Chain A
Amino acid sequence: MRSNVNFFSDEKFRSIFFQTLVVGLFALGIFFIVQTTAYNLEKRNIATGWRFLTDPAGFDISFSPFIDFKSTDTHLDVYFVGVLNTLLVSFCGCIAATILGFLVGIIRLSSNWLLVRVAYIYVEFTRNVPLLLQIILWYSILIQLPRVKQSLEFLDIFFISNRGIYSPRPVFENGFSYVFLAFLLAIISSFILRKWAKKRQDTTGRQFPVITSAFGMIVFLPLLLFFILGSPLSFDYPALKGFNFKGGMVIRPEFIAMFLALTIYTAAFISETVRSGIMSVTKGQREASASLGLKKNWIMRLIIIPQALRVIVPPLTSQYLNLTKNSSLGIAVGYADLVHGFGGISLNQTGQAIECMVIVMATYLTISLTISLFMNIYNRSIQFKEK
């Protein structure tokens, strides 16, 4: 009895004991869940396994901008279509939400009373209404647009109806790859130019108009080549034939609803992050830089933003993760993302619920960890470097 008391009064023993106990119970719990699931699946004669992945899907997916999907393709192809669609709406959403979020965040710190109020109402409204409702709201508005035969026309080449926005599709002809190559080349040279200009400024103090010259290079180099090669680009125009428009490009209302809702919702959070980031830079920094004679936009660019970013980036990362995960709500309006296609239709047609869900979850985990990884690398690059 006595030795027992001694054991428990030993802090080291106690902590090891309880940690082992907790881990042991957790492992037992997991074991229990797996066992029960396997037992019940077997008892109910539900076949398990991964074989279904190579079976033909048998259904069609209309929204597949990257892969030409046919009903004879496999469930694995359904998966890839879903992943790409999820990435598409997440990527577009993250970019747009960042731009809108920064804009609104800066507006809320401006001195224009009206703009500040409008931004305030926007942020408070969108932040406090569930995202699912916003998605459904946008979709309901979009399907109330005119029917396809009464489409709104713009310049005879854009058509807006409740089937989406139709626009001309660029057709790249022979030689366009050179224009594209020139574009890439211009971007790379801009980076090299920036590096050179920075080095020169550090050593001699002389500045070089990097942004103007980079912009000129990126725009005019490809454009020049484009005309030299005799404009190797034509357009395929949409035209109403039969039931729908044929030709051209289309952006579906399901995508637009998802894009708008995700962007507007997430941008509200990002704007708050940006606002707090900028406000975290003390007033003294601004005053000190002003007293050094820096121009107003230089103060913002060279003093405020770099310090604010240190505060902004970590929460920004979690907003990107949120947006990506929230894109799974696409199922509410029939947006053909990963959850809707593979985690929904494939699951349902094959009945392999556990397998499909495991794959879908692993995929979201991978996407999220990848986003985190890149954001962490970026975060490290903007932190204070102690010299």
Chain B
Amino acid sequence: MKKLLSIFAVLAFAFSAHAGTLDDVKNRGFLKCGVTTGLAGFAAPDDNGEWAGLDADMCRAVAVAVFGDRSKVEFITTTGKSRFPTLASGEVDMLARNTTWTISRDVNLGFEFVGVNFYDGQGFMVPSALGVSSAKELDGATVCIQTGTTTELNLADFFRLNGIGYEALPIETNDEGKENLFAGRCDVYTTDASGLSSTRAAAANPDKWVVLPEIISKEPLGPLVRHGDHQWGDVVRWSLNAMIIAEELGVTSENVDAQKSSNVPEVLRLLGVEGSYGEMLELAPDWAYQIIKQIGNYSESYEANVGPDTPLEIARGLNALWTQGGILYAPPFR
């Protein structure tokens, strides 16, 4: 019986004890990153079947920081509903999945948001044939809404505040939303404005759809990890910050080698020429250099995935650097 108990005790330890996530990831040899089931510009397989997008780049940046190799990442798709259990159970090491940072998720669900990689807000999209020019004219409309999201709660608040009625049609994924909207089962689709742009870009005829001017909420989207593993949280946080700081300092994937002999102290610290920041994070000394070399800085990732030259056509807006009229800001690299 004693033996049996000790077996159980060992099992219990094996199930419950997590060494640091960073060690787990290193031992496994690749990063497990939770992304959406497919949202063009943020995380969706491209023509070659490779995951691409702003969130996918976030995953790759962390993989580069840990392994120095952008391919050492397994993308695991999650729905709005499955994402939190997937992260909490340890099935993924981090989420980069258009997830809004809120107090209840940060505190009550036991997660830690490590930063914001896209400042968004909730909007509405309708067929242009409806002739609607403001969300306040939507009295009585049927609205497609992804369940389990903050947008679901904002939607209820917005209509209550404006004293107008609506009918919610709950859906699980963005694809389901598209299908119901294009079939006319709902009049309006509401989600983050970036998601609307993505959906509109995927429509057969994008001109038939308009995104209404109202932005009814703050949706700071960012990567998150399990609460309590601060070392791992730091790795993800500074992988994101490194990309933002690189943009601030004008370091790009093209000039990064030349920048190694820069005379700006912060550039040298960032690229691992001076200081021992890699060691502090238990990463290679050139971790940030590799991120910039292999992924690019924030601006490069933005322009390639969601910027004005992509089908999504989202201007930098709030996501411009704080020095350029936006609110994108990273703490100093020192």
**Which A residues lie at the B interface, using CB under 8 A?**
28, 32, 35-36, 39-40, 43-47, 58-62, 70-72, 143-144, 147-148, 162-163, 241-244, 246, 253, 334, 336, 340, 344-345, 348-351, 353
Scan B284-305; emit 1 where CB is below 8 A from any A CB, else 0: 0000000000000000000000
B183 sits at the interface (CB 8 A): yes
Q: In the bound complex, how far is the Cα of B90 from the Cα of A40, in angstroms?
A: 11
List residues of chain A with CB within 8 A of the CB of B110. Answer: 44-46
Scan B23-42; emit 1 where CB is below 8 A from any A CB, else 0: 00000000000000000000
B16 sits at the interface (CB 8 A): yes
B51 sits at the interface (CB 8 A): no
Q: In the bound complex, how far is the Cα of B152 from the Cα of A104, in angstroms?
A: 44
Would you call A162 and B140 a contact (CB within 8 A)? no
B67 sits at the interface (CB 8 A): no
Within 8 A of A (CB), among B109-163: 109-110, 130, 138-142, 147-148, 152-153, 155-157, 159-160
**Closest approach, in angstroms, between the C-beta of A279 and any C-beta of chain B?**
45
Q: In the bound complex, how far is the Cα of B109 from the Cα of A243, in angstroms?
A: 38
**Closest approach, in angstroms, between the C-beta of A14 and any C-beta of chain B?**
19
Partner among A35, A242, A336 whose Cβ is within 8 Å of the Cβ of B140: A242
A-B contact list, 16 entries, CB within 8 Å: A28-B8, A40-B16, A43-B16, A58-B156, A59-B152, A60-B168, A62-B167, A162-B183, A163-B142, A241-B140, A243-B140, A244-B140, A244-B167, A348-B84, A349-B153, A351-B105
List residues of chain B with CB within 8 A of the CB of A72. Answer: 160
Would you call B185 and A46 a contact (CB within 8 A)? no
Q: In the bound complex, how far is the Cα of B267 from the Cα of A268, in angstroms?
A: 72
Closest A residue to B108 by CB, please name it.
A47
**8 A-B pairs with the lowest CB-CB distances in the bound complex, closest first:** A348-B148, A71-B156, A147-B184, A45-B110, A243-B141, A44-B110, A58-B153, A351-B109
Q: In the bound complex, how far is the Cα of B147 from the Cα of A246, in angstroms?
A: 25
Scan B155-188; emit 1 where CB is below 8 A from any A CB, else 0: 1110110000011111110000001100111010
Would you call A349 and B167 a contact (CB within 8 A)? no
**Closest approach, in angstroms, between the C-beta of A333 and any C-beta of chain B?**
10
Would you call A334 and B228 a contact (CB within 8 A)? no
What 13 additional pairs, Cβ within 8 angstroms, besides A59-B156, A350-B104? A46-B110, A62-B167, A71-B153, A143-B179, A143-B180, A144-B183, A163-B185, A242-B140, A243-B138, A244-B142, A334-B170, A348-B81, A351-B104
B260 sits at the interface (CB 8 A): no
Would you call B157 and A148 a contact (CB within 8 A)? no
**Closest approach, in angstroms, between the C-beta of B130 and any C-beta of chain A?**
8
List residues of chain A with CB within 8 A of the CB of B16. Answer: 36, 39-40, 43
List residues of chain B with CB within 8 A of the CB of A340. Answer: 170
Would you call B185 and A61 a contact (CB within 8 A)? no
**Closest approach, in angstroms, between the C-beta of A132 and any C-beta of chain B?**
14
Closest B residue to A146 by CB, please name it.
B184
Given the known A-B contacts A36-B16, A46-B88, A353-B85, are A60 and B156 also in contact in the complex, defined by CB atoms under 8 Å?
A: yes
Would you call B109 and A61 a contact (CB within 8 A)? no
Q: In the bound complex, how far is the Cα of B163 from the Cα of A70, in angstroms?
A: 12
Closest A residue to B11 by CB, please name it.
A32
B60 sits at the interface (CB 8 A): no
List residues of chain A with CB within 8 A of the CB of B108. Answer: 46-47, 350-351
Would you call B152 and A345 a contact (CB within 8 A)? yes
**Closest approach, in angstroms, between the C-beta of B163 and any C-beta of chain A?**
13
B68 sits at the interface (CB 8 A): no
Partner among B8, B85, B184 whose Cβ is within 8 Å of the Cβ of A148: B184
List residues of chain B with CB within 8 A of the CB of A44. Answer: 88, 110, 226-228
**Closest approach, in angstroms, between the C-beta of B5 and any C-beta of chain A?**
9
Closest B residue to A244 by CB, please name it.
B140
